[in-house]
Structure 1
Amino acid sequence: MLNKDSKFPGKDRSDKGKWIGPWLPQWRDQGDTGPFTMLRQLYGEIQQASESLKAKQAQLKQAGKYTPAGISDKLRQVARAETIPGIRTAAAEQVRKYRREIDSRRAAMKPFDSDPKDIVSEMRRQEVRAWLRTMKPDERTKAVRGASDPLIKEAALSVPVELTGLLQSTRDDLARELIEARYGDEIEALNELDEAVKTVERAVDGARDDVREALGMVEHDFNAEFRDVEDEIDRLAEIRASKPQPKIDFDSVMSSVKALNVDEQEQLVNAIQLEQKRADDRAFRDEIARLSGKAA
């Protein structure tokens, strides 16, 4: 990662000044692994991908063997086979995974739990709604907003808004208040993760712009030349995400792993990570070579 030893590592703007944002100190996991650790690694790799292309450009110029057109052709080959896939893969897989997880967890948050078999609680909510309907609109809104008993707010949220005499905006505010009261810590954690994901997403856009600038291409031409590569990466990522995972006998696997000494366990982990990276690289490079008609 660029400036990795800084308190705020990373390249916070693209070469043309587009805002990306630094990696903030609070974005870290308690251990050595976790979503922030993975996202920080992606953040660095994405930015390094565009920097590597610019370094390649400098090398070609310094060699003095190529015309400007020849340098441009070489850089486009590298961008197509390596740089664009390196940048896009992060967005297509890991970033998308965390984005879906955030959205899923937020969607699962409910203002309160309702048990259809709890007749007593439902009768109490009906009484509250009957009481609210005796009030004038302003009084009703004030009573619900200022209620210290969550049952009053639950009563207003457990039926369609038309049956409560409240405005939709009031109902939305009530739902948000109850959700924040129930899931405050989780919401705060998700918000931090969301900001980290957004920063990586901006890093993808910034790195993409840096590559385009290095190639000396306008946005329309750049999109036309590399969109097929990006679309194919997205398609393969969707296939992998939807592919059923084979069942594994974890007890048997763990027994075998525990039988290894510490050094052997570390070698196994490194080998698994390396093989996964090789498999991903092979899949992407095969498709890219097919699309471009060039060997990766």
Structure 2
Amino acid sequence: MAIPTIYEQLGSRFKSEWLNKPTLLRHYEHIDAIKAAITATSNQRTQLSDSGVHSPKGIAEQIRVKAAKDLVPILKRAAEHTDRTKSAIDQRRKNLTTPKIDPIDSVAEMQRAEIRANLKSLSAGDRIAAATKDPRVADAYLSAPAFLSGSNETERAQIDDRVAKQFHGDALQEIDAERGAIAVLDAVIGVGLTDLRKVTDFENSPQQFDEWMHSVSVPSRTFSANEPGILRPSDIGPRTAASYERTIHDH
């Protein structure tokens, strides 16, 4: 396997400016850990094979022991880290345009209702323009169902996107950067899982690989007992270079 090539190719997509931000650098640390573990496991397999002492079955058994100890936990931690980060990013993005409403301020709610009534009489283009010019209008629109402003969910999504760019541009750029960094890590996890199948001689035995992963992927000590403890291929999902390419082009 040409181990370094694909990892270095994907790693090069991790922008240099991301490495200067601690919040993004932590994602790259997982990339480095996966690359190092895959390389070490592959090198050990080569050494065992070159020694001429072990049978193919014996080599596979030894490599599976090493992978279970050194590689699977690293992939598991990276996958859990990625999934948690994605959820956190989605929440941060949602919070950008979610109005902070005081439920006991009835006067403010009456004002928002009046704004929505005025928006209802406007065309879609004028509603979008009004919401992106005045944060008070944006809050009134986004704090209630779209139909109360004479709108629909498609238009609401457009307004939400434009409001985020207009009033929260810096925060939105940070979110997009983190999504890009996570997309790279996601792809590396997918490649790592593919290489794990190869190096453990499960490449043509997906069911046996799944069973082996279930048996060796014990709960990580770095995560609470309430979090998933078993790493299966289905948990990692479609983390492949192809899915990475689709994701990265969105950012």
What is the percent sequence identity of the aligned residues? 21
Q: Which residue of 2 aligns with 1:74?
A: 62
Q: Does residue 205 of structure 2 align to residue 222 of structure 1?
A: no
2:94 maps to which of 102, 107, 110: 107
1:161 to 1:98, Cα distance in 2 relative to 1, 3 A: closer
- 1:183 corresponds to which of 150, 153, 168: 168
2:236 alignment counterpart: none
Give the equivalent residue in structure 2 for 1:233.
219
The structure with the largest alpha-carbon Rg is 1
Q: Tell whether the 8 Å contact from 2:38 to 2:196 is kept in structure 1 after alignment.
A: yes
Match of 2:42 among 54, 59, 63: 54
Residue type at the aligned position of 2:210? N
Among candidates 146, 149, 160, match of residue 129 of structure 2: 146
Superposed, which structure 2 residues align to 1:27-66 within 5 Å?
27-30=18-21, 34-66=22-54
1:63-83 Cα shifts (integer Å, max 9, x gaps): 111112221221122222222
2:45–2:63 contact (8 Å) kept in structure 1: yes
TM-score by length of 1: 0.64
Please give the alpha-carbon distance, in whole angstroms, between the structure 2 residues aligned to 1:67 and 1:178.
64
Q: Distance in 1 between matches of 2:55 and 2:90?
A: 50
Q: Is the 1:10–1:23 contact (alpha carbons within 8 Å) kept by the matching residues of 2?
A: no
Greater shift, 213-222 or 41-50, is seen at: 213-222
**What is the distance in 1 between the residues matched to 2:225 and 2:20?**
29
Pairwise mapping of residues 255-274 of structure 1 onto structure 2 (< 5 A)? none
Q: Verify: 1:125 aligned to 2:112, yes or no.
A: yes
Q: 1:45 to 1:158 in 2, by over 3 A?
A: closer
Change (3 A) 1:184 1:241: farther
Distance 1:235-1:165 versus aligned 2 partners, 3 A rule = farther
Q: Does structure 1 retain, via aligned residues, the 8 Å contact 2:97–2:142?
A: no
**Correspondences of 1:2-17 after superposition (within 5 Å):** 10-12=7-9
Give the aligned residue type for 2:19.
R
User: Structure 2: which 5+ runs fail to align?
Assistant: 229-251
Q: Which TM-score applies when normalising by structure 2?
A: 0.73
- RMSD over equivalenced CA pairs, Å: 3.1
Which amino acid in 2 is paired with 1:23?
A: F
Residues in 2 aligned to 1:158 and 1:88: alpha-carbon distance in whole angstroms: 39
